[in-house]
């Protein structure tokens, strides 16, 4: 087998973030193994660009990270982009309970996590310890998870303010794989407003649809 790095640390890093060319037939045992895995990721290099493939117990994400190459490569296609929740959609009732919690915290911001238990395939809400909360700021920590628990969704309120991801939110979310939601305009007749994104691979991706069940609108 070809050695990609002499240094053991460099070799370990490359092994944890592998890069595979797509054969002309479009199927590869190595790429199939990543796609079928519980937790891993790789880059697939095809004639039509590079696809980041991320697998978590709760997530299947195939996302192009480059445009198609102008150079000819004798490779197959990386295939279609996709983002699927292996855990299924979050129960809409959880969003209602979190909104009630956030409204009760007004005029301050507040926070909540949605956790998923992989063994029981059940969702739950975790309200974090709040270090500091004002009408324009909330600081809180991610929960310590049991081995069968996964942090699916990180939700914070912008209280009466608009729903958007601030520069602080971008910095907080940069290294996570999770759904992030901001709920704003709470306690107002036209509210609430929701901003959403999938954080993965250092990118912030739009959600193709609401992550909550029983809601056909993009949230």
Residues that bind Zn ion (CB under 5 A): 166, 169
For the stretch 164-202, what's the b/e string if a residue is b when 16 or more beta carbons lie within 10 angstroms of its beta carbon? Answer: ebeeebeebbeeebbbbbbbbbbeeeeebbbbbbbbbbe
Nearer to Zn ion, 5 or 162 (CB): 162
3-state secondary structure at position 105: helix
The least distance separating Zn ion from the CB of residue 156, rounded to whole angstroms, comes to: 6
The least distance separating Zn ion from the CB of residue 102, rounded to whole angstroms, comes to: 12
Q: What is the C-alpha to C-alpha distance for residues 84 and 111, in angstroms, rounded to an integer?
A: 25
The least distance separating Zn ion from the CB of residue 29, rounded to whole angstroms, comes to: 43
Place of tokens 């079928």: 36
* Six-digit token string for 174: 């940069």
Peptide bond into 107 cis (omega under 30): yes
Chain residue at closest Cβ approach to Zn ion:
169
Nearer to Zn ion, 64 or 161 (CB): 161
The least distance separating Zn ion from the CB of residue 164, rounded to whole angstroms, comes to: 8
Phi first, then psi: give them for residue 12, nearest 5 degrees. Answer: -65, -40
Nearer to Zn ion, 25 or 171 (CB): 171
Nearer to Zn ion, 53 or 159 (CB): 159
């Amino acid at each position: 087998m070809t050695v990609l790095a002499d240094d053991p640390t460099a070799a370990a890093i490359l092994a944890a973030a592998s890069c595979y060319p797509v054969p002309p037939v479009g199927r590869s045992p190595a790429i199939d193994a990543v796609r079928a895995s519980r937790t891993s990721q790789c880059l697939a290099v095809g004639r039509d660009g590079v696809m980041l493939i991320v697998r978590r117990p709760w997530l299947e994400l195939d996302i192009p990270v480059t445009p198609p190459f102008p150079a000819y490569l004798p490779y197959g296609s990386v295939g279609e982009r996709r983002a699927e929740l292996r855990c299924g959609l979050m129960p809409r009732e959880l969003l209602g309970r979190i909104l009630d919690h956030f409204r009760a915290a007004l005029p301050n911001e507040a926070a909540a996590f949605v956790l998923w238990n992989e063994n029981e395939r059940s969702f739950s809400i975790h309200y974090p310890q709040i270090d500091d909360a004002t009408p324009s700021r909330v600081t809180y920590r991610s929960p310590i998870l049991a081995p069968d628990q996964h942090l699916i969704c990180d939700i914070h309120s912008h209280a009466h303010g608009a729903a958007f991801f601030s520069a602080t939110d971008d910095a907080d979310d940069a290294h996570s794989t999770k759904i992030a939601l901001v709920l704003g305009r709470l306690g107002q007749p036209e509210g609430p407003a929701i901003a959403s994104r999938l954080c993965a691979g250092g990118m912030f991706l739009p959600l193709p649809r609401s992550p909550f069940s029983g809601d056909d609108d993009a949230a």
